[in-house]
Amino acid sequence: MPLPNYPALSYRPAEGFYTSEVAAVQDRPLRTFLPIGYEPNYPYPLLVFLHGQGSSEEQILRLAPRLSRRNYICIAPRGPHALATRKDGRPAYGWGPDEQDDPLVEEYIFRSIEQTRRHLHVHSERIYLAGFREGAALAYRIGLMYPERFGGVISLNGSMPRHGGPRLRLPEVRKLRVLIGHGIANAIIPLAMAKQDYRLFYTAGLQVDLRTYPTTHRIHPDMLRDVDRWVQDHIVDEFESLAI
């Protein structure tokens, strides 16, 4: 259903999935998941889901209620490159080569965040990029280029761009938190690549966690539970630091 045009902080939309367009970027689609009992006076964390190669915004956002039906607003833009239709008949999209620094994709993601914040109550310091498989390379690229705009980057079965990857903006990037979740039997993006990313971030002084799961390149249910705990732990840490 389309996301209604309502004044921020005054309308209580129902839990579920909504589709809208990011008009400022060639009317690109945006899929949104709103939590149960949406409370307009509460500043929600925002998770920006970036799908993998051959997937779509609709498919990846189905993970949102499995992550949590209550804790987050989640959005998912669509990769701009249309690919061959999947065997099950569903459309497939990609973000382009991971070495490609595409300013239109960057604008699309930032405009999607801005549009969401105009209509829904989002905590400005709790915006997370969550990349799945190939989408993780894009999450890393944008998060490391603009660390001041995000609370953290989540990579699930993904890796840093292997060609033309972003340089770490030290010391600014040290405020960025990173969660890496990876399948131990992932043959597409081997665990060794995730471990290499972990060592890079750890050496650079970032707060980084690496967690492994008994799966291949697919999303393991424990990955989503750990993402929820990881974000919630950071919120608790923020409150405790303010109380000191």
- Whether 7 shows a pLDDT value over 70: the answer reads no
| CATH superfamily of domain region 16-243 | Alpha/Beta hydrolase fold, catalytic domain (3.40.50.1820)
pLDDT digits (tens, 9 = 90+) for 164-222: 667 788 889 999 999 999 999 999 999 999 999 999 999 999 999 999 999 999 999 99
Of 25-29, 108-112, 237-241, highest mean pLDDT: 108-112
Q: What is the pLDDT of residue 132?
A: 97
For residue 130, give the 3-state DSSP assignment. strand
Which residues lie across from 83 on neighbouring strands?
Answer: 92
> What digits encode the pLDDT tens for the residues 89-141?
899 999 987 656 688 999 999 999 999 999 999 999 999 999 999 999 999 99
Who contacts 203 (Cβ-Cβ below 8 Å, separation ≥6)? none
Lowest mean pLDDT among 127-131, 228-232, 240-244: 240-244
Identify the bridge partners of residue 22 per DSSP, sorted by sequence position.
28
Q: What is the pLDDT of residue 8?
A: 46
Mean pLDDT of all residues in 27-39: 94
Banded model confidence at residue 9, pLDDT cuts 50, 70, 90: very low
Q: What percent of the chain has pLDDT over 90?
A: 76
User: How confident is the model over 216-241, as a mean pLDDT?
Assistant: 91
Residue 1 has pLDDT above 60, yes or no: no
Instruction: Give the separation between CA 21 and CA 67, rounded to whole angstroms.
Output: 24
- For 25, other C-beta atoms within 10 Å of its C-beta total 19
Q: Comparing C-alpha atoms, which of 210, 215, 206, 202 is closest to residue 173?
A: 206
pLDDT band at 3 (very low <50, low <70, confident <90, very high): low
Between CA 35 and CA 129 the distance in angstroms is: 18
- Is the pLDDT at 14 greater than 90? The verdict is no
Q: What pLDDT score was predicted for residue 6?
A: 44
Tell me, what's the pLDDT at 100?
Answer: 67
Tokens linked to 80:
């701009």
Higher pLDDT, 12 or 105: 105
Domain assignments of the chain as residue spans, ordered by start: 16-243
114 near 100, Cβ under 8 Å?
A: no
Q: What is the pLDDT of residue 12?
A: 72
For position 165, what pLDDT does the model report? 65
Query: Would you state the pLDDT for residue 139?
Result: 96
